[in-house]
Amino acid sequence: MQRRGFLKMAGLGMAGVLTAACDGTSHWKAWFGQGQGNLPMADWQGTEAERQAAHVLNRMTYGPRPGDVETLVRQGWKDFLENQLQPEAIPDFQASLLVRRISTLSLRAPELFDFPAEEILTELRQATLLRALYSERQLLEVMVEFWGDHFNIFAGKGDCAWLKVTDDRDVLRTHALGNFRRLLRAVATSPAMLVYLDGTANVRGNPNENYARELMELHTLGVNGGYSQTDVKELARALTGWQVANRFRRGTVSPDESRHDGSPVVVLGQEVTGTAEAELDRVLDILCTHPATAHFLAFKLCRRFVSDQPSAALVQQVATRFIQTGGEIKPVLRILFHSEEFQSAPPKFKRPYRFAVSALRALGARCDGRQPLQEQFRDMGQLPFHWPTPNGYPDVAEAWAAHVLPRWNFACDLAAGRIQGTRIETAGIVSAGEKFAETLLQRRLAPHEQEAFALVTSEAERIALLLCLPDFQFG
Amino acid sequence: MNQPIFILINLRGGVDGLNFLVPYREAEYYRSRPGLAVPPPHAPGPAALDLDGFWGAHPALAPLLRLYERQELAFIQAVGWPGDSHSHFEAWEEIESGVAGGTIPTTGWLARLLQAKSATTRTPLRGVAFGEVLPKVLLGTLGVSAFRSLRDYRLRVGEKSGLALALGKIYEKHDTPFSRMGSQTLAGLKQVEQVSGSLDFKQTDYPKTEFGERLFAVEQLIRAGVGLEAVSLDLPGWDTHFGQGSTSGAFANLAAELASAITTFWNRLEDQRDRLCLLAMSEFGRRVAENGSGGTDHGQGGVMLVCGKGIRGGRVYGEWPGLAPERQVGPGDVRITTDYRQVLLELAHSLVPNGALPTLFPGYSPTKALGFCAG
């Protein structure tokens, strides 16, 4: 890898220097919200095609690796998107080789319980990190993360540490780019979700509303989606009877009609009755075809991929596509990524997970993805499968911006080689002093930045400082 | 100057107010909770601790009784957020923003209060939140920081490193919210360096939990005189749909952790108590009747706990709506007789005794004061 190529790939220059001036209590909105549409891009020194390529890589992948920007410029982003939408057709030797070594990943539910919870979780997180870092099927990985937040499961509850393995593999990965209705059905019968939201405790005569409520509030309609408290109660009854075996065939799901309340209930104005399976399919149909669901999903996708506060027009456009296609995820993503608003979207504040993974990719790091690296994500506040409440990790800048110190420490530890199992080749990166940083940022260093770089003397700290720049927190 | 310090404890998940503060004279309470009810005072075995002949505290709250008897601690019941969505997330979003319905402000009520006290103070540790993310309640003012623990609050570089200086140059150059966060973090690092490292958490009586350690960190920040004015910290886990337990179990353990942490904090900071005001609140209470899983589902009216030198303690405040079925609201909830904003407003006035307050709670018309603040 030539250094010039390496430096260009990092896409560090996207945000430009942040100079928006605002004050008073409205500054968060003004700056992190709609007001950020005109961040200064004038300093951008690459071509328009390179800018666009870096933008696409920042959003559809976990950030550019050495050479990615040039490759994408040659390929064209539309082709790239179409490829990414067919992950099974993308050769993925490196990631599959790395992940294949992780033995617990392919185990089925009853066998998983032969291993300690801590080991199971470490391996699942390891696989997640290795795929984010090395898989060529990047959009798939990004979408698995998106659904993992949307259908959040805290691995610390009950048997969820084990059951999350099957949820990740058989539910989220299987359906991440498929159809929302089928994804939702898989989630509803995912043992991890049934345990996490007390679905298994929801039985005839003793309904438990937890899952029913979150199914409407967080998974489909949204809190203002037009359901009532009576709908929650009725839905809970319709969902009774789903059991997760805890002795023989531990961790497998089946409907238990003796615990299912098959008497008629009315959900969102429609009568539902029948077996556990029949009622589940009926209520999921009602929820999935409800316009509020299309709108809520569209909003969340736009917030993830476009900006913290996407325009109502874009959300509407994406929601319409969702309805037209019966919840097909690929066409929905296609219309989102082809939108003018996506193409011109200003840099979005990176959540800690994306910040760290994009840094590791930008520096071409070699990682084993194991415990010491995972501890860094815990410190930064975004360890996978560790968000306790069902709403998933926040997806807006203001939730994360005050927690900058752990990012700086990650940068210091990474650059100094203090993360066991993670290595970067500092010697190959740093040799040209100021020139290095300028190439990385795709703009000239401002005088105050030159002074700052002069204050750190070791190569490791120069790299750390680059990763700590405000520019690199956005992408 | 010794500013008052407000400590907000968010009991996230929806505290079951009826087992926290037991209306042991209500027959309906025992009818609705055959498996979960806390026995009335003087029943054999673990039982509610009588407060005033009608209310009894959960036995796990025993350490707080001393504070209650010294009239430094009060409870408020049938209090809460008037929304009826029963959603944790909507409830907290609105509570921390200081509203109930309508447009949600972009800033938190406590941030607006700090802003009103002084719009220019840039002390980095004026407001502190413990956790990974800055909670909404402190969003929108200068001088607020979030971190997981005081121990981790340092830059991992060598002694002679110029990195902190270099970061200072870069982050102090521009005046944007994110740059300010960076500058503030650097200033906070300098202050925390000076916090005494000689106190050993293990030697204290704080519960050996994350919450206990965080309250200990608050104590250290107060002792170090870093200009602390407001703290937000969480004790989560109250969403007891399943296996809540009565006088022992999940709920009792949380209640014991809360009581022991607060009591230890209060006892250790005897010399600073004149400045301290502590409020523990939740997003809502829980259903009157227990559910089929040995737990309770989301309700409305709940309980708050307030503690401080300026508090007229030793009393349970709030009009009691009763538990009879016809007195319940929604799917079987305790009716709210005190809006959560009424409590916060009275506290805010006591924290800013002479100053004019901005609109902390847009759209809220104050009702008759509960009067738990001595003025």
User: Are A449 and B242 within 8 A, CB to CB?
Assistant: no
Query: What is the per-residue pLDDT for B177?
Result: 78
- In chain B, what is the straight-line distance between the N-terminal and C-terminal CA atoms, in Å? 20
**Alpha carbon distance B340, B290 (integer Å):** 24
- Is A148's pLDDT higher than 90? yes
Mutation pick from A398, A412, A461 vs chain B, by most beta carbons of B within 10 Å, is A398
pLDDT band per the 50, 70, 90 thresholds, residue A26: very low
**Span A20-24, average pLDDT:** 30
- Percent of chain A clearing pLDDT 70 (strictly above): 87
**Span A109-120, average pLDDT:** 94
**Alpha carbon distance A403, B185 (integer Å):** 9
B window 67-96, beta carbon within 8 A of A: 84-90
pLDDT band per the 50, 70, 90 thresholds, residue A430: low
Query: What is the per-residue pLDDT for A423?
Result: 94
**Alpha carbon distance A234, A286 (integer Å):** 13
How many interchain CB pairs under 8 A, A with B? 190
Kindly report the nearest CA distance between residue B278 and chain A, in angstroms: 24
All residues of chain A having their beta carbon less than 8 Å from the beta carbon of residue B189 are 405
**Alpha carbon distance B328, B322 (integer Å):** 8
Query: What is the per-residue pLDDT for A40?
Result: 34
**Alpha carbon distance B91, B238 (integer Å):** 14
User: Are B140 and A401 within 8 A, CB to CB?
Assistant: no
Out of A223, A401, A448, name the one closest to residue B178 (CB).
A401
**Alpha carbon distance A14, B30 (integer Å):** 63
- Is A439's pLDDT higher than 60? no
Which tens digits make up the pLDDT trace of B12-33?
999 999 999 999 999 999 999 9
pLDDT band per the 50, 70, 90 thresholds, residue A367: very high
Kindly report the nearest CA distance between residue B151 and chain A, in angstroms: 12
Out of B161, B293, B330, name the one closest to residue A461 (CB).
B161
The count of other CB atoms within 10 Å of the CB of residue A337 is: 21
**Alpha carbon distance A154, B274 (integer Å):** 41
Out of A218, A405, A473, name the one closest to residue B147 (CB).
A405
Query: What is the per-residue pLDDT for B192?
Result: 85
- Percent of chain A clearing pLDDT 90 (strictly above): 73
User: Are A381 and B297 within 8 A, CB to CB?
Assistant: no
What region does B308 belong to: left with phi over 0, alpha with psi -120 to 50, or beta?
A: left
Query: What is the per-residue pLDDT for B317?
Result: 98
- Is A2's pLDDT higher than 60? no
- Is A4's pLDDT higher than 70? no
Q: Number of folded domains in chain B?
A: 1
Query: What is the per-residue pLDDT for B296?
Result: 97
Question: CATH number, domain at B132?
Answer: 3.40.720
Q: Identify the closest residue of chain A to B90 by CA–CA distance.
A: A223
Interface membership of A203 toward B (CB under 8 Å): yes
CA separation, residue A20 to residues A37, B119, B294 (Å): 11, 20, 54
User: Are A213 and B161 within 8 A, CB to CB?
Assistant: no
Interface membership of B156 toward A (CB under 8 Å): yes
- Is A410's pLDDT higher than 60? yes
**Span A52-60, average pLDDT:** 94
CA separation, residue A37 to residues A23, A34, A46, A58, B279 (Å): 17, 6, 20, 17, 40
> Out of A324-338, B133-147, B336-350, which region has the weakest mean confidence (pLDDT)?
B133-147
pLDDT band per the 50, 70, 90 thresholds, residue B196: low
Q: Identify the closest residue of chain B to A27 by CA–CA distance.
A: B177
- Is A8's pLDDT higher than 60? no
Is the residue at B39 inside a domain? yes
CA A265 to chain centre: 36
Mutation pick from A25, A206, A242, A465 vs chain B, by most beta carbons of B within 10 Å, is A25
Query: What is the per-residue pLDDT for B198?
Result: 59
**Alpha carbon distance A233, A226 (integer Å):** 15
Q: Are A203 and B292 in contact (CB under 8 A)?
A: yes
Kindly report the nearest CA distance between residue B292 and chain A, in angstroms: 4
Q: Identify the closest residue of chain A to B180 by CA–CA distance.
A: A402
The DSSP result for A121-147, as a single string, is HHHHHHHHHHHHHH-S-HHHHHHHHHH
- Is B236's pLDDT higher than 50? yes
Is the residue at B52 inside a domain? yes
> Out of A27-31, A156-160, B248-252, which region has the weakest mean confidence (pLDDT)?
A27-31
Query: What is the per-residue pLDDT for A426?
Result: 75
Query: What is the per-residue pLDDT for A432?
Result: 47
> 3-class secondary structure for A22-35?
CCCCCHHHHHHCHH
Which tens digits make up the pLDDT trace of A263-318?
999 999 999 999 999 999 999 999 999 999 999 999 999 999 999 999 999 999 99
All residues of chain A having their beta carbon less than 8 Å from the beta carbon of residue B144 are 402
Query: What is the per-residue pLDDT for A450?
Result: 85
* Radius of gyration of chain A measured on its C-alpha atoms: 23
**Span A74-84, average pLDDT:** 97
Q: Where are the domains of chain A?
A: 3-16+36-79+349-473, 89-288, 291-343
Out of B133, B141, B241, name the one closest to residue A25 (CB).
B141
Out of A209, A223, A453, name the one closest to residue B297 (CB).
A209
Kindly report the nearest CA distance between residue A106 and chain B, in angstroms: 31
Query: What is the per-residue pLDDT for A437?
Result: 59
Question: Which of A1-5, B98-102, B275-279 has the largest mean confidence?
Answer: B275-279
pLDDT band per the 50, 70, 90 thresholds, residue B356: confident
List beta partners, residue B305: B75, B280
**Span B227-235, average pLDDT:** 95
SS3 assignment, position B5: strand
Which tens digits make up the pLDDT trace of A28-47?
333 333 333 223 333 556 78
Interface membership of A223 toward B (CB under 8 Å): yes
User: Are A381 and B132 within 8 A, CB to CB?
Assistant: yes
* Helices within chain B (DSSP H only): 17-20, 27-32, 65-69, 88-97, 109-117, 163-171, 177-193, 210-224, 250-268, 340-351
3-state helix, strand, coil in chain B (%, to 5): 35, 15, 50
pLDDT band per the 50, 70, 90 thresholds, residue A382: very high
Question: Which residue did the predictor score with more confidence, B292 or A24?
Answer: B292
**Alpha carbon distance B75, B57 (integer Å):** 10
- Is A145's pLDDT higher than 60? yes
ipTM of this predicted complex? 0.84
Q: If you average pLDDT over every residue of chain A, what do you get?
A: 88
Parallel, antiparallel or unpaired: strands B73-80 and B316-317: parallel
Q: Identify the closest residue of chain B to A445 by CA–CA distance.
A: B170
Query: What is the per-residue pLDDT for A438?
Result: 58
A window 375-394, beta carbon within 8 A of B: 379-382, 388-389, 391, 394
**Span A136-151, average pLDDT:** 98
Q: Give the residue numbers spanning the domain of B21.
A: 5-150+195-351
Q: If you average pLDDT over every residue of chain B, what do you get?
A: 92
- Percent of chain B clearing pLDDT 70 (strictly above): 98
**Span B67-74, average pLDDT:** 97
- Is A324's pLDDT higher than 50? yes
pLDDT band per the 50, 70, 90 thresholds, residue B375: low
Q: Identify the closest residue of chain B to A31 by CA–CA distance.
A: B177
